[in-house]
Amino acid sequence: MILYILAIATVILYFYNLGSFQVWQPNEAFYAEASRRMLLTGDYITPYYNEELRFQKPPLTYWLVAIGYWLFGINEFGLRFFHAILGLGTGFITSLLAWLLTKDLRVSVLSFLILVLSSQFFVNAHYASPEVPLAFFICATLTSWYAYYKTKRLHFLIIAFLSSSLGMLVKGPVAFVMPALIVFTFLILERPRELLDKKYYLLTPFALALGLWWHVYHFLVHGSVFLKVFLAENIQRIYTGKEPVYFYLLDTLVSFFPYSLLFFPALFWSLLKARKELKFVTLWILSFFLVFSLIKKKIPLYVMPAYPAMAVVTAYFLINSPWERIKRWNGIFVSLLLFALTTVAVLYFGLNKVFILLSIVPLLFLKVEVRYAPALAMAVFYVFLAGAILPYLETFRKTKNLGEFIKELDPEREYQTYQIGHFHHSLPFYAERRIIRNKTPEKNSIVIFEIGKFDGCEPIRKFYLYKGSESRLFKFLMDSKKNKNFSEFGVCLYL
């Protein structure tokens, strides 16, 4: 019963304060503004950010945001709505995968919780970017394929190929290549003769055509301009980078928290005991870690499509392994750590002390069910994050106020608008216009300038703005406390 209550509470948590915070700079701003432009112009094929072509990612993420805008208005809730939905959807598919593999409802529900509460996944499900949609479609591809493998029902195979195509429209060929590699390797090990199944080879061209038509179209229309971006995003990252080969092993400890400390023992246990029911998901995990460890450019998000499989392995270990001591110590450590972090943050930033009392609850829960205590502790910490930390940070974020002032100053958009000094990526979204950067302003224009870097006119109004990356949340948080990396910007009419 406790497990199911936690799952329901987590679904509600996913929408808690979802639209209460401004667009995060720089990355989320690209999707916020390009999707707004798509909705207003009706051009859903060619993404533009700040009136500049943006070919870095295919269009499906923009489409999801545009649909959110259409449903809820052009606002922060509409921006993030479908990412939260796909985050929960990935968790739901993961629970189905766990059920297919184990026929154990507790493993299924716990797999859902481990995935959707893992730190990297949760954050990205509340942030407009391609990562969660890609994880959703890769998870749907591999789960549907495994359902076909077990049942031989054709519609599961069709869903798998369709999901792969949609994944390619999120982030390119990787959405086809990685599932294909995992399935191929699994069949080589388990049932090589199935590789002769003609249905795979008949469906593949259709899947590639549906998934790569956008790439082909823009290559034909824009030629080398598109090809340069495509190669930089998909090929150059293979051989450019300096991170060590063990990067993802270390990063997992943070990115897959609060069950990251159990994941490696769980994987070792499943390999040691040769758990046949976990063979597919174990191969899924090892494939992602091996391939992306060999690629020179390493970013934590690259292995996030392996998180569903990692969640299943960890949940199965928690329910079925006899290693009770390690489970207990993990529950105690996570609960104490999050309690300590909450307490220190409340006292250091002067936040509501009620959150300290709330963070005690998981410690009391340890006596009830230690296996689920990390999930509860993490859920409570996210309440603290969305209910206290982010509202605190919001008081330091004035880009939205600046954009609204520019709209009031020039409601008909008669003037060109320039920004001199640091460029704020969410400003085109909030000002609803192109912001010209790195150019000398022309007469009869609006100029936003860092004080001391432009003397062509006197500021009508000043704004105190952050100049770092808001996406680096911890650094932004510490900078806000120390009043570091902020500058005063003026706005003037340059006539």
User: Domain containing 418: what range?
Assistant: 400-494
How many independent structural domains does the chain possess?
A: 3
Pair (68, 144) in one structural domain: yes
Pair (126, 273) in one structural domain: yes
Pair (202, 341) in one structural domain: no
Pair (285, 331) in one structural domain: no
User: Is the predicted pLDDT of residue 120 greater than 80, yes or no?
Assistant: yes
18 within a domain of the structure (yes/no) = no
pLDDT in the model for residue 312? 97
Residue 296: pLDDT band (50, 70, 90) is confident
User: Each residue of 181-227: pLDDT tens digit?
Assistant: 999 999 999 999 999 999 999 999 999 999 999 999 999 999 988 88
153 within a domain of the structure (yes/no) = yes
**pTM of the full structure:** 0.95
Which range has the worst mean pLDDT, 174-178, 394-398, 453-457, 458-462? Answer: 453-457
Residue 193 identity (one-letter amino acid): R
Rg of the Cα atoms in the chain: 24
- Give the Å distances, CA to CA, from 384 to 71, 102, 172, 359, 389: 29, 35, 36, 9, 7
Pair (347, 465) in one structural domain: no
12 within a domain of the structure (yes/no) = no
151 within a domain of the structure (yes/no) = yes
Pair (157, 111) in one structural domain: yes
CB within 8 Å of 297: residues ≥ 6 apart: 236, 237, 238, 240, 241, 243
Pair (315, 340) in one structural domain: no
13 within a domain of the structure (yes/no) = no
Pair (121, 179) in one structural domain: yes
Pair (364, 417) in one structural domain: no
11 within a domain of the structure (yes/no) = no
Pair (453, 437) in one structural domain: yes
Pair (303, 415) in one structural domain: no
Which range has the worst mean pLDDT, 1-5, 56-60, 108-112, 123-127? Answer: 1-5
d(CA 258, CA 344): 19
Out of 282, 303, 320, pick the residue that ends a domain: 320
Q: Which residue has the tokens 């006197």?
A: 458
Residue 374: pLDDT band (50, 70, 90) is very high
Mean pLDDT for the stretch of residues 28-45: 95
pLDDT in the model for residue 29? 95
CB 486: neighbour CB atoms within 10 A? 16
pLDDT in the model for residue 211? 96
Out of 320, 353, 379, pick the residue that ends a domain: 320
Pair (92, 112) in one structural domain: yes
Q: What is the largest CA-CA distance in the chain?
A: 77
User: Is the predicted pLDDT of residue 470 greater than 80, yes or no?
Assistant: yes
User: Is the predicted pLDDT of residue 276 greater than 90, yes or no?
Assistant: no
d(CA 144, CA 147): 5
Out of 394, 416, 443, pick the residue that ends a domain: 394
User: Each residue of 217-252: pLDDT tens digit?
Assistant: 999 999 988 888 888 877 777 777 788 888 999 999
Q: Taking all residues of the chain, what is their mean pLDDT, rounded to a whole number?
A: 94
116-152 b/e (C-beta count within 10 Å ≥ 16 → b): bbbbbbbbbbbbbbbbbbbbbbbbbbbbbbbbbbeee
pLDDT in the model for residue 95? 97
